[in-house]
């Protein structure tokens, strides 16, 4: 089993740059580690940073069945650019069929309960399968992204997923710092970002962000800010 999160946090004390958090965190996690990628700017930055690490890290993604074409395009661009293998996970066919048969195609807009059900079927359950056997996983979460992420730490124990270690290397970075890295390294990104989509999930649940809104305002825009998580990062 990994060192206790408190021990790892102590060893990461004072390290704020993503590369430092990534290298030190990976060195302390005993066992297989994977990066969960939605091919956001953050995830692309992390994929690039991982190329500079000696530790082998698997990359996986979840195809909910309702992703934008642009998301699939950038996923393929990244796969070819780095010559990497991406493990894709899909929702259980019977669960999706039953949901749409019983509640229709847009039940997630009718209530928070329905939206959580859809997210669980399309995202959370596939994530649980993707994390099986891992000692740790890496995410592109940043504190600045939303009110729900204000207390995010560089490294955490993911009690929801069996107590494995969760590494958040970009936790302290701003959107500007993340985009600066992307530009400096001349990395590609999802074409929707150029149209104001700062957080991209399923197509029916994502829209462009308006001036003055936070990065997650375009996700489930009909809900209150404190509810805008899909369950992948339940704390």
Q: Is 53 a catalytic residue?
A: no
Question: How many Å separate Cα 195 from the centre of its chain?
Answer: 20
Q: Dmax over Cα atoms in the chain, in whole Å?
A: 52
Per-residue b/e over 157-195, b at no fewer than 16 CB within 10 Å?
bbebbeebbbbbbbbbbeeebbbebbeeeebebbebbee
Going by the DSSP 8-state scheme, the letter that residue 222 receives in this structure is T
Question: What gap in Å lies between CA 10 and CA 108, rounded to an integer?
Answer: 41
The number of residues making up the chain comes to 235
Going by the DSSP 8-state scheme, the letter that residue 211 receives in this structure is T
118, 119, 205, 230: the active-site residue: 230
Per-residue b/e over 38-63, b at no fewer than 16 CB within 10 Å?
bbbbbbbbbbbbbeeeeeebbbbbbe
β-pair type (86-89, 58-62): parallel
> Which tokens belong to 5?
């999160």
Which residues belong to the active site?
A: 230
């Amino acid at each position: 089993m990994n060192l206790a999160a408190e021990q790892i946090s102590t060893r990461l004390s004072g390290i704020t740059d993503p590369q430092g958090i990534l290298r030190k965190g990976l060195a302390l996690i005993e066992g297989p580690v994977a990066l969960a990628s939605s091919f956001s700017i953050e995830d692309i930055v992390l994929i690039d940073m991982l190329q500079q690490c000696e530790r082998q890290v698997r990359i996986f993604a979840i195809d909910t069945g309702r992703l934008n074409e642009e998301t699939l395009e950038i996923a393929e661009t990244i796969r070819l650019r780095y010559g990497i293998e991406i493990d894709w996970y899909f929702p259980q066919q019977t669960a999706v069929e039953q949901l749409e048969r019983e509640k229709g195609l847009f039940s997630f807009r009718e209530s928070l309960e329905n939206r959580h059900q859809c997210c669980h079927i399309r995202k959370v359950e596939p994530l649980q399968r993707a994390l099986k056997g891992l000692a740790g996983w890496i995410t592109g979460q940043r504190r600045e992204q939303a009110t729900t992420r204000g207390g995010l730490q560089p490294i955490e124990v993911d009690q929801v997923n069996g107590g494995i270690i969760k590494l958040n290397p970009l936790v302290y970075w701003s959107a500007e710092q993340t985009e600066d890295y992307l530009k400096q390294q001349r990395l590609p990104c999802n074409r929707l970002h150029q149209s104001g989509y700062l957080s991209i999930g399923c197509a029916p649940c994502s829209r462009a962000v308006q001036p003055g809104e936070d990065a997650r305002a375009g996700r489930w825009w009909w809900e209150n800010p404190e509810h805008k998580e899909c369950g992948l990062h339940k704390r």
